[in-house]
C-alpha cells in the first residue's frame, strides 16, 4: 500500500514587502494605505498552527490579514485541517484567500529526518497558494487552509497531491471568483516550478 504522507504542512515566507507592493501594483490590485511590511512578517518555516499573513478581499482592495495556519479539528479526536481537496467543489460561498509564499516544502522517505524538497515558482519573485479562510470562534484568530489538487509533473515525483499555486494573473480571478474554479485550481504545466533538495533524508 502506498504510504500516506502529510501534504504541504510547511512553507517559507520570505516575500519582500517591496516585491509584494510592486507585484500588486503591476496587477492593479493595490495595497491598502495603512498596510506596511509589518503585515508581511518573514518566516523560515510556517507550520500548522503558526500565525501567518494571507491575502483576502477587503472591499475593493486586497489586504493582508494574520491568520492561523489550519482550521481547528471538527471533533475531539480530529486533526487540524491544513489542506483541503479542491476537485469537484464549488467555492462561491467560501471565503477565498491567497497565501503568499516564497516556497513550499514536500518531504519524502519513511524515516526521520525525511528528505526536504523546496519548490519555487520560476520567473516570479514569490508565489501565492489558493486557500479558504474562516472567522475564529471563541476569541480564537481567523484561520486558513490550503487547497490541493492532483500533482503537476514537477511535483508528482515527490508527492501524490500538491497545493494549488495560482499564477499572478489569476490572483484576482480567484479572490473574486470571476472564472470557474476548475480553470483556476489546477496544477501548473511541467517546468513551472523549480525544485531543490535542501535536506537529504536517512533512507
pLDDT bin (cut points 50, 70, 90) of residue 166 is very high
pLDDT, residue 135, reads 96
DSSP 103-147: EEEEEE-SSSSPEEEEEEETTSS-EEEEEEEE--STTPPPEEEEE
What mean pLDDT is predicted for residues 199-203?
Answer: 80
Q: Is the pLDDT of residue 186 over 90?
A: yes
Q: Is the pLDDT of residue 24 over 80?
A: yes
Please count the other Cβ atoms lying within 10 Å of the Cβ belonging to residue 100. Answer: 21
Q: What's the CA gap between 73 and 190, in Å, rounded?
A: 35
pLDDT, residue 111, reads 83
Give the pLDDT confidence of 122-162 residue by residue, as tens digits: 999 999 999 999 999 888 899 999 999 999 999 999 999 99
Taking the complete model, does pTM exceed 0.75, yes or no? yes
pLDDT, residue 2, reads 33
pLDDT, residue 1, reads 31
Amino acid at each position: 500500500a502506498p504510504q500516506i504522507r502529510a501534504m504541504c504542512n510547511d512553507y517559507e515566507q520570505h516575500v519582500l514587502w517591496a516585491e509584494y507592493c510592486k507585484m500588486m501594483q503591476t496587477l492593479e490590485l493595490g495595497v491598502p494605505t495603512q498596510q506596511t511590511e509589518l503585515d508581511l512578517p518573514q518566516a523560515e518555516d510556517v507550520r500548522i498552527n503558526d500565525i501567518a499573513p494571507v491575502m483576502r478581499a477587503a472591499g475593493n482592495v486586497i489586504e493582508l490579514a494574520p491568520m492561523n495556519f489550519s482550521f481547528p479539528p471538527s471533533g475531539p479526536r480530529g486533526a487540524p485541517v491544513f489542506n483541503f481537496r479542491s476537485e469537484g467543489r464549488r467555492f462561491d460561498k467560501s471565503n477565498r484567500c491567497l497565501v503568499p509564499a516564497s516556497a513550499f516544502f514536500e518531504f519524502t522517505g519513511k524515516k526521520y529526518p525525511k528528505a526536504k524538497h523546496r519548490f519555487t515558482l520560476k520567473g516570479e519573485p514569490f508565489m501565492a497558494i489558493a486557500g479558504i479562510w474562516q472567522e475564529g470562534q471563541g476569541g480564537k484568530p481567523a484561520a486558513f487552509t490550503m487547497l490541493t489538487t492532483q500533482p503537476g509533473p514537477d511535483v508528482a515525483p515527490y508527492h501524490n497531491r500538491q497545493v494549488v499555486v495560482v499564477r499572478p494573473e489569476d490572483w484576482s480571478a480567484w479572490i473574486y471568483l470571476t472564472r470557474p474554479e476548475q480553470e483556476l485550481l489546477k496544477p501548473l504545466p511541467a517546468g513551472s516550478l523549480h525544485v531543490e533538495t535542501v535536506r537529504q533524508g536517512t533512507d
